[in-house]
Amino acid sequence: MNWRELKDSNITQVAGAVSGGLDSCTVTHWLKSKGFSVHCFTVDLGQPDEESLDAVKDRMLGSGAESAHIVQGQDALAEAGLKVIQSQARYEGGYWNTTGIARPITVGAMLPEIDAQDIGVLFHGATGRGNDQVRFQLAANTLQPSLQVYAPWRDPEFVQQFPGRQQMLDYCEENDLPIRPSRESRYSTDANFLGLTHEAGDLEDVAISPVFVEPGMGVWPWDAPDSDEIVTIRWEEGVPVTLNGNPLGLVEMFQQANRVAGKHAVGIGTHVVENRFVGVKSRGIYESPGMELLGRSYEYLLQFILDRRARELFDYLSGVISLQIYQGYWLDLATTSALAALEPMTRLASGTISVRLYKGSIFFDTADDTPEAMPYSLYTDDSSMEAMGTYDHSDAEGFLKVLGISSKNVGVRQYPHLNR
């Protein structure tokens, strides 16, 4: 779809999912220049890089928006972020899907406001080479199939005028738009309280060290304190309820976890060259201190709870959910079913875990595995090297004889020929 098709359909009003960055300012002003009435919506996701979201409203109005609105979304993001932790949904082993999960939350928060103004077109500034265009599109298609989605980066006329970020910077400067060029010129940041993703600009050149990036949720490991810190988290049925003994709501839990983990550079500076859904590779510098702290704590708890077969199932479901989020399918049947399959395990995840933070690393410290504190733990005296527990060493004799039958057959008939 291009802007002329919208015009030909007698569409005069469009609603934008905007962050207030370079793309948002450029697209808003450009669409106004084409004769559209642009209404901007920014969802409050606790963006750490914004002192006040009122500044985003001001930038959008200064870029030509007819109206600019702030929509609440922190509670919904916290609930979704918790599900990411409960499923350990890290894409390609490291990325906590902080932006991937935020996109459907953003669309879901905006839709009632867009409906209230009777606007039938949603636009976004996601690049045609990236994942976010998929996430916005699929979330909108699922939640409101009748809503049209316009993506300027897939409009040939827009791309011809703005083939890259430099052309957008030039356009904003020529039109005196209120962007932040000193920062935007080197890289782009997408932010919510689950994490920051830094991409584009100089970060695309892997020959350039990424240390020019200014962490927005903490410090680089070499700037972290020289002393360690122990953090204790209490989990009840898969939900973190206290941090260092202090009861916290879910949003506050993420915020406090960000502060304590960010101070020690946990989850900051993760270097990822990843496989985008569209089939290309990209390089990003990610920050997710609170997710890393809470996520690692939860992983340690799972090690007490899950038996071997449950662990295998958990790992499979975790991989499914991670890929679903990354590719924009958070709202579909596969994700819903996989999350439901994890529910019995989540209900058993109660316990108190202490970890030690030091210069970007998290180490297991202690666990309160008493029956009162961790009632569903399978960790018992049976594995002890001491004279305790109900496991009889001699019972393993028959077990090993059974296992040995197949190994002997392999040794006689196959092994001599396996390493030719």
Residues catalogued as catalytic: 23, 103, 132, 188
Long-range CB contacts for residues 198-206, cutoff 8 Å, separation at least 24: 198/284, 198/285, 198/286, 198/287, 199/282, 199/283, 199/284, 199/285, 200/165, 201/165, 203/283, 203/284, 203/285, 204/282, 204/283, 206/273, 206/283
Render the burial of 279-300: b for 16+ CB within 10 Å, e for the rest: eeebbbbbbbbbbbbbbbbbeb
- CA–CA gap between residue 66 and residue 158 (Å, rounded): 21
Task: Describe the strand order of the beta sheet including 121-124 as a list of residue ranges.
Answer: 67-72, 37-44, 13-17, 121-124, 148-150
Q: Most distant CA pair in the chain: distance in Å?
A: 84
Say which residue the tokens 């680089």 belong to: 220
Say which residue the tokens 């949904």 belong to: 89
The span from the first CA to the last CA of the chain, in angstroms, equals: 60
Q: Provide the 3-class DSSP secondary structure of residue 66.
A: coil
Render the burial of 231-261: b for 16+ CB within 10 Å, e for the rest: bbbbbeebbbbebeeeebebbebbbbbbebb
Q: Provide the 3-class DSSP secondary structure of residue 313.
A: helix
- CA–CA gap between residue 333 and residue 406 (Å, rounded): 42
- CA–CA gap between residue 233 and residue 357 (Å, rounded): 13
DSSP-derived letter for residue 177 is -
- CA–CA gap between residue 257 and residue 260 (Å, rounded): 5
Single out the residue of 73, 124, 41, 106 nearest to residue 331, CA to CA. Answer: 106
